[in-house]
Structure formats: C-alpha cells, structure tokens
Structure 1
C-alpha cells in the first residue's frame, strides 16, 4: 500500500510592478553618468580652446547646440581661428561625422514614436550615447530612457563648455593638453563596449581596419576604416548565419 505525501501549495510568483515613465527617465540619466565623466571635462577643454584662440565666448555654446559633435567641434575651433576655407570645413565635417550614418543602423530609433523626439535623437546620436546604449540589453531600452540619456549628455557638454569659457577668461596663461580627454574618453567607452569575450572578433576587425586605412589612405583614414569595418562586420554576420543554419535545420 502506497502512501502519498500531501502536496504543498506552490506560492504564486511575485508580480513585478510595471516600470513607470519616471523610472525610465531616471535610469536614462543614470546611464549617462559613465559617459558624463568624460564629456564634461572635454566640454571644459572646448571652452578653454575657444577663449585661448581669441574667439568670442558664445562660440562654445553655439557650436554645442548647432553641431553637437565633440571631436568635430574641437577641430572647428582651430579651423575658425585660422580662417579655413568653407570647402575644407565642409569636407572635414563630412569625413569626421560620416560614422554617424552607421550608428543609425543599430541605434533604437524605432522605439521613439514622436517625430520631434526622434529628430532630436538623431541630432544627439553622439559616440558616447551610442556606446552607452549598446551596452544595454534590448529588453531594457525605451524611448524615455534613450532620450533622457541623450539630453543629459548634451547638458554635460554645454555646461562643460560654459565652465571652460569662464575658467579660460580667468586664467592668466593658456593650458595645453586638455584635448587628450577625447582620446581617453573613447578608450574607456571602447573597453566598456567590448568587455565580453564574444566581442573580441569585433575588436580585432576594428584594429585591422584602422591599420589598413592608415597604411593605404592616411589622409582619410577614418572614412576608409569605417567602410572597411562595416564590410568586415557584414562578412562576419554572413558567416555566423551560415554556420548556424545547419544547426537550426537539424533541430
């Protein structure tokens, strides 16, 4: 004769409260903190460069609002100070910012329904915003979180520029070397984006692209490296799909 032990009722799983819009905005601002540590001092460097170049102070916030792109703005300060021809300025803008075209392929613009908010997100799609968003799981991305992160990043940049202008006007002598903050910021963001072993091939492909570009086309190395890197990523994607296809068919 078998005796069955009484079954214990299974407790229902706790119901998680839905994430509110305010919480998503808070998360977006929190996401911006890591990038903001580099964006703010870089903005200070921009303000200092504007003052030290003998340009009007309002150029720093004007550049930060009209053309929100850190590396380009640092270049434009020198080009404006030396009265560079407009054609050379236009070509520089195209080459330096052409990488943003590739950002749009994977940036979650589809989450943003409002056309004005989407236009701002395209305008504020800087390197730091792209890198921070890439480190988030797809399930945690949302329009309020993305937009809050981008607004916070621009606030750090504009605020840093104003602080740099004020500091530059108060200092008796110029300060050199602050532009290195741009290289340091990109280094930190790269290490953060590729900290998993699964992305090591992407790091190697990026390094190979930059090496080939510097050897073959040193004058437009960034443009060549971006095109080559995208081509290599497409080849890698095709190989990955081809290898996984038989497994999926057998399953």
Structure 2
C-alpha cells in the first residue's frame, strides 16, 4: 500500500486548503487596497512626515480611509481631541459590523482577537454573507491578514516611490478628497441618503463660518446631532 504524500511543513491538507482559500478571498479586494496603500505612503512623505508613519498607521489604525485623513491632520498638528473624535466618527460603523460578522467561526484566543481588530470594510464585505459551511478560522484569519499585508506593503512601496521622485507630485493630496467625493456620490445614488448629504453639507458650512479653527470637530458633532434628530423624527412619524 503506497504511503500517503507528506504534508508540506506539517500542515494538514484541509488546513492548507483553507489558508489557500483565504488568500484567494483577499485577491479581489487587494487590487483596491494595495493602490490605496501606495497613496498613503506617498502622502506621508509629501506631507513631511517620517517614513515610518505609513506602516505605523497601517498597523496601529488599519481602518482604510481614516489613515489617509490622519496624514493631513498629523502634518497640520491637529489637536488630539479633534483627531480622536474624527477617528471615532469615521470608524463608528465598525461597531455595527460586529452584529453580523461571523466572528464565531474564528477560533477563540489570538485568532479571534486579530479577526476583531482586522474587521475592516473589505473583510466584512468578503465574509459577512459567505455561507457558514465555507468559513473556517484559518480561512478568515488568513484573508484578513493578507488584506492588511496589502495595505502595509502598499504603504511601504508608496514611501519608496515618493523618495525616488525628483520632485513632489503637485495636487497628490487631493487623492483623499477624490476618495470621499466618490463615496458621497455613491451614497447619493440612493434617494433616502439625500437628507443625510444635505445635513452634512449644512453642518460643514456652519462649522466653517462659526468655528473656523475647529471646523472638522464642530461639523462632526453637528452632523451626528442632525442624524439623531432625523432618526427621531422619522421614527416618530412612522409610529404615528
């Protein structure tokens, strides 16, 4: 009877298959994450920040668009309170991800802790609706780890690209503005999001006029209050 083929590095075949599936899951979103990472690295260097800020943000924050926002805030020596409130407001949606993310499929301990930490938009979109029988701890953690490596690696490549350029790219900092414009246009495609966009525009205008030195913080507070008021009014009307 022929001996079974040896498993590479002592990893069972089923586990290797799940790791491979996780890597495959990450490829599609990696095509979007990696270029954004490059943009992050270039922005860090062009903002006059040390190169290590790019991997530090990609590892310490790892939330996507907020890292790009933080580059400008750090370069402008924005107060810590404003930075903290901004990060909380931009990333608050992650709290709701936990309600439907299949975290119970991840092994308790370090793997589950990492999966919670790496629960970014792309990971949620990849695994939240995937059939439970296809999910495993190895697959999900591998996919999330690969997504973060694309982000960190793209940032490091961006740092190198920025250092190799003979002169700064004029207007490159507009990449973040363009990103949020696209996100806003996507939201406006749904008619029910028009009031939210109007609230955001009104909050920004009032904040710029009334609180020019703390416009971002003031706009976020007013926008949050406006959303809460809108929710209360629409809910009351629905139950009337």
| Category of TM-score, reference length = shorter chain | 0.7 to 0.9
In the alignment of these two chains, the number of paired residues is 199
Given that 1:96 and 1:223 are in contact with CA atoms closer than 8 Å, whether structure 2 keeps it comes out as no
What do residues 121-140 of structure 1 show as CA deviations (whole Å, max 9, x unaligned)?
Answer: 11101111111113522321
Aligned residue in 2 for 1:59: 53
Aligned residue in 2 for 1:110: 104
User: Does residue 95 of the first structure (1) align with residue 89 of the second (2)?
Assistant: yes
For 1:148 and 1:224, locate their aligned partners in 2 and report how far apart those are by CA, in whole Å.
39
The 1:27/1:39 distance shift into structure 2, 3 A limit, reads same
Aligned residue in 2 for 1:10: none
The 1:226/1:38 distance shift into structure 2, 3 A limit, reads farther
Q: 1:211 aligns with which of 184, 194, 207?
A: 194
Aligned residue in 2 for 1:193: none
Consecutive unaligned residues in structure 2, runs of 5 or more: 1-11, 202-218, 233-240
- Give the SS at the match of 2:133: helix
For 2:138 and 2:153, locate their aligned partners in 1 and report how far apart those are by CA, in whole Å.
22
Q: 2:33 aligns with which of 31, 39, 48?
A: 39
> Which TM-score applies when normalising by structure 2?
0.72
> Which TM-score applies when normalising by structure 1?
0.69
Consecutive unaligned residues in structure 1, runs of 5 or more: 1-17, 191-202, 232-251
Aligned residue in 2 for 1:172: 166
For 1:115 and 1:185, locate their aligned partners in 2 and report how far apart those are by CA, in whole Å.
38
Aligned residue in 2 for 1:196: none
User: Does residue 77 of the first structure (1) align with residue 71 of the second (2)?
Assistant: yes
The 1:208/1:105 distance shift into structure 2, 3 A limit, reads farther
User: Does residue 162 of the first structure (1) align with residue 145 of the second (2)?
Assistant: no
What do residues 46-87 of structure 1 show as CA deviations (whole Å, max 9, x unaligned)?
Answer: 000000000000100011111111211101100000000111
